[in-house]
Each structure stands twice: as structure tokens, then as C-alpha cells.
């Protein structure tokens, strides 16, 4: 299914590509045998394709909210689709998207800033932690000139 998704994506048929990306990612929930590099590339292309449509973004987020078999791709597979939830408006969906990463969140400015905006908008108790994490990151990684 991943090969079909990639084929349709390369052909510019995003509707079919997204359908097959979704099917292949659902299959990864029970099938741990696809090569990790293939899965990673499929995840990256799925996120790239989904960025072009809010509806596809929501569907992809929904599919990826369930872990893959034997937690495949947990360390590498989460970040390729991260830009996808940024298209979500602040609200419960952005908090669910972020929950996949908690408590060991990716340590980069874009992610930490998005996390803070989401939690502040929702007024959750996590906002204070998100703000402290972003401040700590900025202190450890000052802007380069």
C-alpha cells in the first residue's frame, strides 16, 4: 500500500495518495515487518501530502494517534509528521497531537514554541511547563548571528 501511495503522490493524485498513505499507516499498526527506512519515507511523504489539505491533515493525525506495531518508529517516526498538527487550530486536537510527544518532547525551538502556544490557548496546567522548557531551550541555545 505504501508503494501505491508513493506512486499516486508522484503522479500528483493527492486524493488517492492520501487514501493509500492512510491505509499503509493503519497496516503498520499490526505489521512490524516493513523496512524502517521505507516506513520513514512513507511517513515523510504522507505528512508532506497532508500539509496541502486541512482535511487530510486531520485524517493523518487521527491515523498517527495510534502507535505502530511493537512501537516501530517511535523515536524517528514522530517528527516527520509533526508539522502536520501545526495546521490544526489551537484546541483539543493540538493538545492530543502534542500528547504523543510528552513527556520527552523534541528539543527544538519550533516544536517548543508551538507547544507553548497550544497549551496557553487552552489554558492548561501544561502551559507553565511548556514556557519553562522554551525558556530553558532559548537560554541553552541563544540565537546565532
Whose grid coordinates read 498538527?
Answer: 85
Q: How confident is the model at residue 16, as a pLDDT?
A: 95
* Cα separation, 26 vs 123, whole angstroms: 33
pLDDT tens, residue by residue, 20-50 = 999 999 998 898 888 888 888 888 888 888 8
The 10 Å Cβ neighbour count of residue 23 is 14
Q: How confident is the model at residue 44, as a pLDDT?
A: 82
Cell of 75: 523515536
Residues in the chain: 145
Q: How confident is the model at residue 85, as a pLDDT?
A: 57
Q: How confident is the model at residue 142, as a pLDDT?
A: 81
Alpha helices in the chain (DSSP H): 2-11, 14-27, 36-50, 54-64, 92-99, 109-122, 126-140
Q: How confident is the model at residue 77, as a pLDDT?
A: 45
What number is the average pLDDT over the span 80-108? 71
Q: How confident is the model at residue 6, as a pLDDT?
A: 92
Q: Residue 57 in contact with residue 87, Cβ under 8 Å? A: yes
pLDDT tens, residue by residue, 41-91 = 888 888 888 878 878 877 887 787 777 887 676 654 455 555 555 666 667
Question: Taking all residues of the chain, what is their mean pLDDT, rounded to a whole number?
Answer: 83
* Cα separation, 36 vs 105, whole angstroms: 22
Amino acid at each position: 500500500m505504501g508503494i501505491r501511495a508513493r506512486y499516486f503522490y508522484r503522479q500528483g493524485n493527492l486524493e488517492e495518495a492520501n487514501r493509500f498513505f492512510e491505509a499503509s499507516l493503519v497496516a503498520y499498526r499490526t505489521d512490524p515487518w516493513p523496512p524502517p527506512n521505507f516506513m520513514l519515507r512513507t511517513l515523510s511523504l504522507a505528512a508532506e501530502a497532508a500539509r496541502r489539505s486541512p482535511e487530510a491533515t486531520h485524517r493523518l493525525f487521527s491515523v498517527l494517534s495510534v502507535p505502530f506495531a511493537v512501537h516501530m518508529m517511535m523515536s524517528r517516526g514522530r517528527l516527520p509528521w509533526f508539522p502536520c498538527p501545526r495546521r490544526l487550530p489551537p484546541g483539543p486536537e493540538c493538545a492530543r497531537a502534542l500528547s504523543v510527544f510528552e513527556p520527552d518532547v523534541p528539543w527544538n525551538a519550533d516544536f517548543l514554541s508551538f507547544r507553548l502556544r497550544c497549551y496557553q490557548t487552552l489554558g492548561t496546567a501544561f502551559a507553565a511547563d511548556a514556557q519553562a522548557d522554551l525558556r530553558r531551550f532559548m537560554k541553552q541555545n541563544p540565537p546565532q548571528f
